[in-house]
Amino acid sequence: MKTYSSRQLALYSSVILSFTAGFLVIMAYYINAGFLTILLFLALFIAVSYFILQYMLRRYISDKIKPVYKTILDLPGGNGPEGETGDLPGTTLSEVITDAEAWARKQNREIERLKELERYRKEFVGNVSHELKTPIFNIQGYILTLLEGGIDDPKINKLYLQRTENSINRMISIVEDLESITKLESGELKLNMEKLDIVKLVEEVFELEQMQAAEREVSLEFASRSDRPVYVKADRKRMHEVLNNLINNGIKYGKKNGYVKVGFYDMEDHIMVEVADNGIGMEKKDLPRVFERFYRVDKSRSREQGGTGLGLSIVKHIIEAHNQRINVKSKSNEGTTFTFTLEKSR
């Protein structure tokens, strides 16, 4: 459809209105119109002028706005129905403005989301780089020491080869943990759901962690010991990983003569599992980020304790893969409590 400039529309409107006015004047002249007839012709002229100007203005505004509106509809996130041609909806400009404002708000939200993703990507890449750089530099230093003569000293070469192996194992752990998170996020890692006794599983983890707990003088306890098994529906291997990460976390950041307690609470169709310690705890500002990859509350102490910085992130992804949620509450110097639910097994 042909579009017109403002000058063209003004010219066409003037010509049409002039012809209309001239026609009415001639009609009034030939019929010897009286005062009332002239008023009638004047009213008719005003009405015709109104509709002509309305049409011309609407046509002009429509021609200018239509390309913008069509662009909004064609862009991802446009609100137009499938097969929309870009014609202006309804009869009022307000509907166009409403659509444009809604589209703008949606695009602003998308921009903010992309900014957040970019921030997260940069932070993630930086964290991965830092976590891998440390063991790589360590390995480089150990090898250089051996090449510069240390290999001839049995005490030095054995010590440095052992340290090199530890650094390599740390890199392998980081890569394996990242791979686990990626598989959980993509749904590639399938859960083997089965009926299992969560109490017995905790006992197995306690036995596994008992030596480390004894070294740090932290006791492993049940908050309320049940003589009967507590059956839940879960993936045994992944749930063992969850419990091991949470209990190990409590041991690492526990206080001397402290404790890590595990409790179970009946919630009709679910069992709530609580893992609590009376360790160093966390500040309130750290709680929203505690499940982020590589996030460390106390970076210096975290690296001294070992680990990849991915444990709690893996825990969160495993619990969510079970269609459940995990929560954390903590106070500095008072301790931390993690709670999550599991579906009961009948």
Cα 205 from Cα 185, distance rounded (Å) = 25
**Contact by Cβ (8 Å): 230, 217:** no
Give 117-186's CATH code, choosing from 3.40.1160.10, 1.10.10.60, 1.10.287.130, 3.20.20.70.
Answer: 1.10.287.130
Pull the structure tokens for residue 1: 């459809």
User: What is the per-residue pLDDT for 82?
Assistant: 43
**Contact by Cβ (8 Å): 177, 308:** yes
Which architecture does CATH list for 193-343?
Answer: 2-Layer Sandwich (3.30)
User: What is the per-residue pLDDT for 259?
Assistant: 93
User: What is the per-residue pLDDT for 90?
Assistant: 47
For every one of its 346 residues, what pLDDT tens digit does the chain have, with 9 covering 90 and above? Answer: 455 555 666 666 667 766 666 666 676 666 666 656 666 666 776 777 677 777 767 766 666 666 666 666 665 555 544 444 444 444 455 666 677 777 778 878 888 888 877 776 776 666 677 667 777 888 888 888 888 877 777 778 888 888 888 888 878 877 877 777 777 777 777 888 999 999 999 999 999 899 889 988 999 999 876 678 889 999 998 899 899 989 998 998 888 889 999 999 988 889 999 999 998 888 888 888 888 877 766 655 545 555 567 788 888 989 998 999 999 999 888 899 999 999 998 7
Return the number of other C-beta atoms located less than 10 Å from residue 104's C-beta: 11
Distances (CA, A) of 225 to 27, 157, 200, 218, 232: 106, 50, 11, 18, 16
User: What is the per-residue pLDDT for 13?
Assistant: 67
Pull the structure tokens for residue 16: 């049409």
User: What is the per-residue pLDDT for 12?
Assistant: 66
User: What is the per-residue pLDDT for 139?
Assistant: 85
Which one-letter DSSP state was computed for residue 289? G
User: What is the per-residue pLDDT for 137?
Assistant: 82
